[in-house]
Chains A and B, each alone.
Chain A
């Protein structure tokens, strides 16, 4: 067991080192792309924590917005250092999520999905409606970047390192949650909620916990995004963006921790490489989505194991 862990740790370290040198070999705008992609990975992985309980929400990206606005307003209007406002973004999103648990978790499944959409949309409309302090449709601009010594965080590479560090820490925490007692209980809540209750699991509490924790991390992701972009608008957190998160998670596969990550990476790269198609891009993207669902019904995550199995196949006789 420790051997496996050792090789895993080695693999992760190698990957991190690889990621750290990667931006130096990228085109400039791909450095930005990498930053946003890394942030989006935190978005999908935190969303997966939510889906562990079997509930799919449409409010996740709005919670990202809550974090983004929290950090933006704290740092710009109240002069908080970004190093404080960023964690506060997580706290803010978590608090709002905690409040929303009461109405939302009266519903389950499809009703929860749509109910979460309605609540999220109401929050978003509030950003548009209340020009003070949210800045209406044009949102908040001139949000300061973080400051540390003489590091220039407007430059993509240092900012990427910051994002990489924060996202890695967040992913480690999320991974640990998923593989802890709590993750196990969340699984249990999903698959057999009545059996879980009969052994003493407070399912409402665990659903809420998953939602709040997911919101905390996506709030941090939102803060990471705004301090690089320098502005935040309600437009960024609309249902259109949420649909992309859903697509990443479903096409990537939601049975493993890495499925959504794979989905986000592959589909984002695809989307970016299709950008030369200009206005025809969405159609090709849509066709590729359909193809992915038809030919890889278990998601992209099912591809590496089946390749591995294909290579191993001659060595071991088929089971059964």
Chain B
């Protein structure tokens, strides 16, 4: 269990952000339209985040804002970013759309037209779909964490960091290589399109390629109170591999596997709270559980091809202020921010179109876990997603440890037909 080091309450209430935003908000409520104070003589570039900070989707937004602020502060503290002869301070401008399409449109326009941001980072799904027509016309550089948002009509929408759900394939590939005797698998996932079904289709393709038969795929809603029935029904199929394709309910699902006496292998898309899982089951039970998201203090993330400065330090400073709030998006949004910095420096400009051009011009763009490739035309109709190596993580002795890096790109290039077939089977959009 990831315990908060000191009293959670003192910290939360003592946070400057809390007071600052409260005052700003009350001020805004009282004197709507009061001009914002800004530092006059420093050049500032604003990066927008149009994300959910309230409601059910907040965990996929807020930690990203926290992470981005850490990275931006680090860059600013180091003297800012030099772009085309100017030095810029980076400022994050965020808007809470609460995963509501209307507010997403409003927030996007506010960020672009009033805050004059040079890039808008978004989560993805319907909130992105609703801004696409306007954003594309405006030629606004927009990023998503769901590459499946990319269509032939979205030239200004890129997914440079998370390649959900493509990265899932490496874990299955690795597992099958290490355990050639695995024959069957079952998949459990949420019944939504963006996360659940995309991920299930990818996993199924990966299993097929690895020669493992998928016996059953269970799609459940977000209203599940108790996973016992679903897990019971899946275990009745006697699978060798139990695969969790979405991350929201991993802990209660693994807990059920543990109690229901499951003996086989477990694969998960993410397992952000794996310490909780261990606390609820046992170290032995989760030993060897495969997933895709490393801890940022993993020794294998130091040096080499990793394109994230000081992951360990980042991890530490995030946990200092936001213990227990870590999720994959905490580093994914900052990672996109870093991609932007790289591209802006290459372009020598902060203008969205120029930055995008520089991004796309780079044949081997920096991806968090090593050099990447632009990909996606075969699946979504446009090469606007960066995919590259992705770590295979497994739990060893109670810690998530990177086992090895594998190329998602290679897998996709070889097996895109199988992937397309599985996507089609689930009525998912493909080019």
How many Å from the CB of B92 to the closest CB on chain A? Answer: 12
In the complex, what distance in Å separates the CA atom of A31 from the CA atom of B134? 14
CB pair B114 A29 closer than 8 Å: yes
CB pair A136 B101 closer than 8 Å: no
Of A8-16, A47-55, A93-101, A138-146, the one touching chain B: A138-146
How many Å from the CB of B95 to the closest CB on chain A? Answer: 7
Q: Which residue of A28, A135, A141, A228 has the most chain B CB atoms within 10 A of its CB atom?
A: A141
Contact with A along B289-314 (1 / 0, CB 8 A): 00000000000000000000000000
CB pair A137 B114 closer than 8 Å: no
Contact with A along B1-39 (1 / 0, CB 8 A): 000000000000000001001101110110010000000
| CB neighbors of A among B84-112 (8 A) | 94-96, 99-102, 105-107, 109-110
CB pair B21 A136 closer than 8 Å: no
Q: Which residue of B55, B58, B101, B191 has the most chain A CB atoms within 10 A of its CB atom?
A: B101
CB pair A270 B100 closer than 8 Å: no
CB pair A230 B197 closer than 8 Å: no
Known contacts A27-B110, A28-B110, A29-B113; A274 and B25 CB within 8 A of each other: yes
| CB neighbors of B among A11-43 (8 A) | 27-29, 31-33, 36
Contact with A along B41-56 (1 / 0, CB 8 A): 0000000000001110
A233 CB contacts on chain B under 8 angstroms: 101, 126
How many Å from the CB of A186 to the closest CB on chain B? Answer: 31
CB pair B194 A277 closer than 8 Å: no
A280 CB contacts on chain B under 8 angstroms: 18, 21-22, 25
B211 CB contacts on chain A under 8 angstroms: none
CB pair A235 B427 closer than 8 Å: no
In the complex, what distance in Å separates the CA atom of A273 from the CA atom of B30? 9
Of A125-133, A250-258, A311-319, the one touching chain B: A125-133
How many Å from the CB of B292 to the closest CB on chain A? Answer: 22
| CB neighbors of B among A229-283 (8 A) | 229-231, 233, 235-236, 240, 270, 273-282
CB pair A229 B105 closer than 8 Å: yes
* A interface residues, tally (CB under 8 Å): 42
How many Å from the CB of A268 to the closest CB on chain B? Answer: 10
B132 touches A (CB below 8 Å): yes
B21 CB contacts on chain A under 8 angstroms: 276-278, 280
Known contacts A136-B192, A139-B126, A231-B130; A225 and B102 CB within 8 A of each other: yes
In the complex, what distance in Å separates the CA atom of A96 from the CA atom of B182? 50
* Residue in B32, B96, B109, B134 whose CB lies within 8 Å of A278: B96
A277 to B, closest residue via Cβ: B25
How many Å from the CB of B285 to the closest CB on chain A? Answer: 32
A123 touches B (CB below 8 Å): no
A164 touches B (CB below 8 Å): no
How many Å from the CB of B430 to the closest CB on chain A? Answer: 13
A141 CB contacts on chain B under 8 angstroms: 126, 129, 132
B62 touches A (CB below 8 Å): yes
B259 CB contacts on chain A under 8 angstroms: none
CB pair A29 B193 closer than 8 Å: no
B125 CB contacts on chain A under 8 angstroms: 138
B137 touches A (CB below 8 Å): yes
* Residue in A31, A236, A279 whose CB lies within 8 Å of B62: A279
**Interface residues of B, dominant DSSP:** helix
B133 touches A (CB below 8 Å): yes
A279 CB contacts on chain B under 8 angstroms: 53-54, 58, 62, 96
In the complex, what distance in Å separates the CA atom of A277 from the CA atom of B19? 10
In the complex, what distance in Å separates the CA atom of A98 from the CA atom of B178? 60
A235 CB contacts on chain B under 8 angstroms: 99, 101, 126
Known contacts A27-B110, A131-B193, A279-B58; A273 and B102 CB within 8 A of each other: no
A182 touches B (CB below 8 Å): no
B284 touches A (CB below 8 Å): no
How many Å from the CB of A150 to the closest CB on chain B? Answer: 15
In the complex, what distance in Å separates the CA atom of A284 from the CA atom of B25? 10
In the complex, what distance in Å separates the CA atom of A142 from the CA atom of B129? 8
* Residue in A131, A154, A281 whose CB lies within 8 Å of B96: A281
B29 CB contacts on chain A under 8 angstroms: 270, 273-274
In the complex, what distance in Å separates the CA atom of A220 from the CA atom of B191? 29
A139 CB contacts on chain B under 8 angstroms: 126, 129
Q: Which residue of A131, A279, A280 has the most chain B CB atoms within 10 A of its CB atom?
A: A279
* Residue in A27, A138, A229, A231 whose CB lies within 8 Å of B193: A138
In the complex, what distance in Å separates the CA atom of A135 from the CA atom of B54? 25
B219 to A, closest residue via Cβ: A129
Known contacts A141-B129, A275-B95, A277-B21; A129 and B191 CB within 8 A of each other: yes
Contact with B along A70-96 (1 / 0, CB 8 A): 000000000000000000000000000
13 A-B residue contacts at CB 8 Å?
Answer: A27-B114, A29-B107, A131-B193, A136-B193, A138-B194, A141-B126, A142-B151, A228-B105, A233-B101, A235-B99, A240-B55, A276-B24, A281-B96
* Interface residues, chain B, with chain A CB atoms under 8 Å away: 18, 21-22, 24-26, 28-29, 32, 53-55, 58, 62, 94-96, 99-102, 105-107, 109-110, 113-114, 125-126, 129-130, 132-134, 137, 151, 153, 191-194, 196-197, 221, 426-427
Q: Which 8 A-B pairs have the closest CB atoms?
A: A277-B25, A137-B192, A29-B110, A138-B193, A28-B113, A131-B427, A233-B126, A29-B109
